């Protein structure tokens, strides 16, 4: 039988990677796949190898700046319609090729994006979080549903917004060993890892299987005959250069979102390229993910950034979902109500996920936004659910049949 990585266990192909344990989570990479447009390869061909040639504890001033506008006219833009319509299809395809990964009957199968949004659900967002869920046997499958507003904003993005989005992809190309930035990059090339994890809570633990798109890994650890370890992965970001600053830094809210993005996979390092308004990166700095909560408190306008509260929010939702999603192959719509962002100085009273010690009496500032939380005794139920019609089923028919017989 093939291993989760797609190779026979008797051969020297990729094997499940080492485990990273932190904050009650024990993620292990058990497989991977690469995407080039709609073509899915069950290998690591799109895993970028990233060279770290500076002291991780310091900043690097580039002798030759990175012009993120280079070859802009040759870019193959990311197809966002495919992104929204994926509906866990690629993960389902991978599971069908490696069905043994379901032998342990995980409690949840989902994406890293869902976990990231649940982790940050106690903090202000533009819209409430909506998920679709369906159960087969002992496993609940979770899918995030993008709002009409989100899809319209992507479809109607201005040229300037598209350019800013492209800068992130171009920085990845500059940081990839062997890549040629003078050529246009293909934004539809991506690399995913499949993660198996146990998440501890007060009473027990939940088992999860999820996919996560990752930027790449440290080149010095790369071997083509094995999967990457969690602690070898690197997340790449871009940020605005602060002219004259002694030290470049991410904004506090971006630190919090980045922590929630990296934590489910156990990614330990973020490398950020700081660019000017013209899109030219002049400095690079690395950040330890474990240090982001502490680093965020160095700013004058502090934000609430508590990994413990975020993990509690994730656990609370998962426990609620297990009691709510009861009937097999029925699609449920699950809504997590959140405090909503509004213009600075205004008040929005919205139900929130209440966790002991979290509700604030004063408005919490998030850059140009302000949110005032309702008093604890007026907080409403943070979760809502409803059953949808059978036509809402998001799992592939072949996948459903295979899971029934697993």
Domain layout of the chain by residue ranges? 25-121+131-325
Q: What is the pLDDT of residue 351?
A: 38
108, 317 contact by CB (below 8 A)? no
Residue 150 main-chain phi, psi, to 5 deg: -60, -45
Q: What is the pLDDT of residue 348?
A: 47
Q: What is the pLDDT of residue 155?
A: 83
Q: What is the pLDDT of residue 10?
A: 34
Q: What is the pLDDT of residue 22?
A: 60
Q: Indicate the range of 14-23, 38-47, 99-108, 189-198 predicted with least confidence.
A: 14-23
pLDDT, tens digit, 9 for 90 and up, residues 231-275: 999 999 999 999 888 788 999 999 999 999 999 999 999 999 999
Position 363 confidence tier, pLDDT thresholds 50, 70, 90: very low
Distance of CA 13 to the CA centre of its chain: 27
pLDDT, tens digit, 9 for 90 and up, residues 172-183: 999 999 999 999
CA distances from 82 to 98, 149, 185, 214, 314 (A): 24, 17, 18, 18, 27
Average pLDDT over every residue of 106-130: 95
Position 7 confidence tier, pLDDT thresholds 50, 70, 90: very low
pLDDT, tens digit, 9 for 90 and up, residues 74-88: 999 888 777 777 889
Q: How far, in Å, CA of 107 to CA of 93, rounded?
A: 19
What percentage of the chain reaches a pLDDT higher than 70? 84
DSSP designation for 373:
P
76, 35 contact by CB (below 8 A)? no
DSSP per residue, 52-116: --S-TTSEEEEEEEEETTTTGGG-B---HHHHHH-TTHHHHHHHHHTGGGGTT--SEEEEHHHHH
Average pLDDT over every residue of 16-38: 80
Position 349 confidence tier, pLDDT thresholds 50, 70, 90: very low
Question: What is the overall mean pLDDT for the chain?
Answer: 85
Q: What is the pLDDT of residue 56?
A: 78
Q: How far, in Å, CA of 125 to CA of 117, rounded?
A: 10
Average pLDDT over every residue of 32-47: 93
- Between the CA atoms of 305, 310, 311 and 312, what dihedral angle is there, to the nearest 10 degrees? 120
Average pLDDT over every residue of 310-324: 96
Choose between 170 and 86: higher pLDDT.
170
Average pLDDT over every residue of 113-134: 94
Range picked from 26-30, 85-89, 122-126 for highest mean pLDDT: 26-30
Q: What is the pLDDT of residue 406?
A: 82
Confidence check: pLDDT of 365 > 70: no
Residue identified by tokens 């890994």 is 217
Strands 205-213, 108-111: parallel, antiparallel or unpaired by DSSP?
parallel
Q: How far, in Å, CA of 402 to CA of 272, rounded?
A: 42
């Amino acid at each position: 039988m093939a291993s989760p990585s797609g190779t026979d266990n008797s051969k020297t192909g990729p094997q499940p990677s080492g485990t990273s344990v932190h904050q009650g989570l024990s993620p292990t990479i058990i497989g991977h796949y690469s995407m080039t447009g709609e073509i899915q390869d069950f290998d690591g061909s799109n895993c970028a190898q990233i060279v770290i040639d500076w002291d991780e504890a310091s900043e690097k001033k580039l002798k030759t700046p990175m012009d993120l506008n280079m070859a802009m006219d040759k870019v193959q833009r990311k197809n966002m319609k495919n992104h929204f319509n994926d509906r866990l299809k690629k993960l389902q395809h991978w599971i069908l090729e490696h069905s043994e990964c379901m032998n342990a009957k995980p409690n949840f199968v989902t994406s890293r994006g869902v976990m990231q949004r649940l982790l940050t659900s106690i903090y202000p967002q533009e819209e409430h979080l909506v998920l679709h869920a369906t159960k087969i046997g002992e496993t609940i499958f979770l899918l995030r549903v993008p709002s009409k507003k989100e899809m319209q904003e992507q479809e109607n993005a201005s040229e300037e917004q598209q350019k800013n989005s492209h800068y992130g992809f171009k920085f990845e190309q500059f940081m990839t060993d062997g890549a040629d930035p003078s050529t246009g990059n293909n934004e539809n090339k991506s690399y995913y890892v499949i993660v198996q994890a146990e998440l501890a809570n007060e009473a027990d633990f939940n088992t999860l299987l999820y996919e996560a798109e990752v930027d790449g890994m440290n080149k010095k650890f790369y071997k083509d005959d094995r999967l990457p370890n969690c602690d070898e992965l690197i997340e790449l970001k871009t940020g605005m250069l602060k002219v004259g600053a002694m030290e470049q830094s991410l904004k506090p809210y971006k630190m919090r979102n980045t922590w929630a993005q990296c934590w489910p996979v156990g990614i330990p390092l973020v490398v950020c390229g700081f660019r000017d308004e013209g899109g030219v990166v002049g400095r690079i700095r690395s950040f330890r993910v474990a240090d982001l909560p502490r680093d965020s408190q160095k700013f004058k306008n502090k934000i609430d950034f508590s990994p413990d509260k975020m993990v509690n929010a994730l656990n609370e939702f998962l426990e609620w979902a297990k009691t709510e999603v009861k009937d097999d192959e029925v699609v449920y719509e699950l809504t997590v109500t959140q405090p909503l962002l509004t213009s600075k100085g205004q008040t929005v009273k919205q139900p929130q996920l209440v966790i002991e010690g979290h509700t604030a009496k004063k408005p919490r500032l998030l850059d140009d936004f302000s949110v005032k939380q309702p008093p604890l005794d007026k907080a409403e139920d943070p979760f809502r659910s409803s059953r949808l019609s059978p036509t809402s089923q998001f799992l592939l028919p072949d996948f459903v049949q295979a899971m029934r017989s697993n």
